[in-house]
Amino acid sequence: MLEYTNRLRPGGMPVDEALVEAGRVRLRPILMTTLCTLLGLLPLALGIGAGAELQKPLAVSVVGGLSLSTFFTLLFLPTVYRLLARLQVG
């Protein structure tokens, strides 16, 4: 998402508008990819199937890490980007 924001900025688009546009364009692909992966790991995370009890801790870790990284990508990083851009200008 931030890469797309950086592509919009050299064209003269303000930081706030670039972040909103990047969020509008990239939100659905990011959420679809994350949701697909989380749903694919759900049987392992729930321990369904033979031998799943051995892979359950790994699946739970991946689900937690992916959920947290998606949260940071969509909410935290754009906020920090905006603050740093404001400090750089001022």
Contact between residue 70 and residue 30 where contact means Cβ atoms under 8 Å apart? yes
pLDDT tens for the chain, 90 residues: list them: 899 999 999 988 999 999 999 999 999 999 999 999 999 999 888 988 777 788 899 999 999 999 999 999 999 999 999 999 999 876
Contacts 24+ apart (CB under 8 A), 62-67: 63/38, 66/34, 66/37, 66/38, 67/34, 67/38
pTM score = 0.80
CB 6 within 8 A of CB 79: no
Collapse the DSSP code of 13 into the 3-class scheme (helix H, G, I; strand E, B; otherwise coil) and give the result: coil
Can you give the residue ranges of every domain in the chain?
2-89
